[in-house]
Amino acid sequence: MFNLLAMGDTMDTDAEDGTNSSDAFDGLVDWLDDHGIPAFVYARRARDNQNVSYKSIRNMLKAGGNMTVSYGRYTLSDGEFERGTGHAITLVGLQRSSAGVLTLQAHDPIQGGGSLNTQSATQVREVHPVEETRNIEGDVVKVLRWGTGTDPYVFIDGWMAILPLMALTNLTAGAVALYTAGVATGQVTTAKIKLPFKAPLADIAMHHSAPFATVLAEGSGEVWTLNLGDRTWTRLQGVTGARFIAHGGRHARLFVVQGSQILAFDADDLDERTGDAPLARFDARASVDALSYDHRKDRLIVACKGGKRLLSLSPALSLHAEIATPGLTGSSRLTMSVNGRDSTLLLSRAGSPDVATLRWLDTGAVASGRFRLLAKGETAANHVDSKGRLFVNEGGKIASFDMDGNRIKGSPFDGLRVGPLLKVSRSTNVLDPVLSARKAWKN
């Protein structure tokens, strides 16, 4: 009971209204970090224009996710469904038969109409949801319909998943190395996944709300997405000559740089794609040197003109602002990463221990700084997580540092071999906090 009370306090749960999903996400991330558990959190919600489909849940389970799903009770008006109340349950099983029939098993904390103040007996609740495309308060998305009732309609409209911490790097030619840390033990397993092309890797990007990673082939500029659950590849059709890639946005986007052009593609259900056309494009009118996504402010940050200018773009690639970049000596590859919790931007160059920091406020004010990593060798491939941990290639091994440059311990990946590129999975809260605060969207 103490653990339940502590978790409820961490998530700011209200005894009458339930739990705000954004608060639940942040509370869960904090709880995992406070207990030293090597895991990260993803979430998805239909109202944030993301499909809550069988495939999206299956992918999470195959990647080792421990999940809760939420269902909402809806009324229908003029072809649009409006949420009234909601509830979250623990997912324990999901199957699809050869005939396409779905079976979902869950543990429900108030199963059988029990009291909200006592823990119900652990029983498996089994339902057969049907995948439908519906207009959920203005967003036309896939949801799973629970039952056949119409007063109210019930849809599974969101999920939250705890996944084992992962890291991707290019150790050897022709393959990408996937490190996975066990949630319970922290023990790291290594998988060598063959690339679908012969060229070296030019860039890696981790998806922010699905167990996917996207890679870029050097030379041809082909873009391929890896399903981290079943280890299959899917190509982004019609795209060649790409130089950089990044994932981001509440409405799941994949950003691709071709010369001075930045293209935005729909990044939902990337492993089901057969043909792709960009949703938007932007001409930076200069060479692009790096890009990274600021999930807290829902904006794409682009470094260009030899790393001397920074652009702030909306998910639809509208230019918001442009500023000068903090000076970094050298001309080696520029690495840029954004802390998802406070939007601090980190920039560094391969081979240099110097890291520039920048906080670009909504008012237009800019606060910049600099620190030096207390590293023992050349560094590269800096990547910051939502708690401010900086993962670095230090002389061919992964090392962790804080935002003052001090070496820190605790990452299961420290000391493992690493290539020129490194990406580490991190908790990314893409849920709209304004929507989460509405009573109808609490669970």
Contact at 8 Å (CB) between 270 and 212? yes
Angle between helices 21-34 and 2-10 (to 10 degrees): 120
Helix (H, G, I), strand (E, B) or coil at 3: helix
Residues 253 and 255: their CA atoms lie apart, in Å, by 6
Q: What is the pLDDT of residues 423-437, one digit of tens each?
A: 999 998 888 888 888
Share of the chain above pLDDT 70, in %: 91
Check residue 41 and report its DSSP letter.
E
pTM of the predicted protein model? 0.91
Cis-peptide into 152, omega within 30 deg: yes
- 3-class DSSP string for 190-208: EEEEECCCCCCEEEEEECC
Check residue 417 and report its DSSP letter.
B
| Position 2 confidence tier, pLDDT thresholds 50, 70, 90 | very low
40: exposed, middle or buried (C-beta count within 10 Å: 0-12, 13-18, 19+)? buried
Tokens of 216: 């870029």
pLDDT (average), residues 339-364: 88
| Position 10 confidence tier, pLDDT thresholds 50, 70, 90 | low
Q: What is the pLDDT of residues 234-288, one digit of tens each?
A: 999 889 999 999 999 888 899 999 999 999 998 887 766 556 789 999 999 999 9
Residues 292 and 51: their CA atoms lie apart, in Å, by 24
Long-range contacts of 302-309 (CB under 8 A, 24+ apart): 302/262, 303/334, 303/336, 303/347, 304/260, 306/331, 307/334, 307/347
Residues 47 and 99: their CA atoms lie apart, in Å, by 29
DSSP labels for 196-252?
SSSSPEEEEEE-SSSSEEEEEETTT--EEEEETTT--EEE-TT--S--EEEEETTTT
pLDDT, position 321: 92
Residues 366 and 395: their CA atoms lie apart, in Å, by 33
Is residue 330 over pLDDT 80? no
State how far Cα 59 lies from the chain centre: 14
Give me the numbers of helices (H) and strands (E) for the chain, helices first please. 4, 31
Comparing CA positions, the residue from 245, 286, 249 lying closest to residue 266 is 249
Pick 75 or 342 by higher pLDDT.
Answer: 75
Maximum distance among all alpha carbons in the chain? Answer: 65
Q: What is the pLDDT of residues 169-182, one digit of tens each?
A: 999 889 999 999 99
Is residue 70 over pLDDT 80? yes
